[in-house]
Amino acid sequence: MKVLILSDIHSNIHALEAIWARENDSEQVYCVGDLVDYGPYPKEVLDWVRAHDAHSVQGNHDAWVSKLYRESMALDNLTTEDRTWAEHNVSLLNESDITFLEQLPETLTFSADGFSYALTHIYDKYREIKSLQQYEKFRQDRFSGAKYTRLLLGHTHRQAIHHLSDDLLWMNPGSGSYRRPDDLDQTAHYATISDGTLSLGRISYDHSILFHVTQELKLNENEYKHQWSWGPRDSI
């Protein structure tokens, strides 16, 4: 069996489609949260996730966009120049989309090829699990002690497979959309599981449309801190 693992897509349909063009032989798709926010295509990403029957946990940005939608029905009165990415995403989504985001679970588990997996978006802010004791405590606290051997995490945008023993590991597929400021890589990150073998993937894609759309939006100027991931770094 082949499973595609995504995370932190952040309303970037171009990166998502580039990943799928390479990995479209995957039989199942899982996402470790943050489908929306910090990008211009939330509707397209949610439509893709539903069309491909992808299973996702809820990320902090998914929860934030949903909360903002419920609390900020006066967004129509907010000028484009004053909007954050989250507010822009809210303006493009409807009740069905928000309900979908609200109903995403905090955790998921699945089995494939004799291995058990657990998914959740955040471990502890931007910290990493560095010991078996931390791993076991997290399993008790977040998953009620469920017996899995492979933990899938998102949020940090740091792609990694970290073995804690021969049998236990955690993996972060990295962000499909953007890097942290200290990471100059502009590719889309993801992971695959093929017959039990974990692999980290990266793929280049055409940023030009994404960069142009982002430039034209003219959102609140504080919202462009990640824009260099889609264009020349000296463009901001």
pLDDT (tens digit per residue) in 172-203: 999 999 999 889 899 999 999 999 999 999 99
Q: Is the pLDDT of residue 234 over 90?
A: no
CATH number at residue 219: 3.60.21.10
Instruction: Round to the nearest angstrom and report the end-to-end CA distance of the chain.
Output: 43
Amino acid of residue 45? V
Q: To the nearest whole number, what is the mean pLDDT of the chain?
A: 93
What's the domain range around 175?
A: 2-235
Domain count, the chain: 1
Q: Is the pLDDT of residue 77 over 60?
A: no
Dihedral of alpha carbons 81, 11, 102, 139, sign: negative
Burial of residue 214 (CB within 10 Å: 0-12, 13-18, 19+) is buried
Q: Is the pLDDT of residue 80 over 70?
A: no
- pTM of the predicted model as reported, rounded to 2 decimal places: 0.95
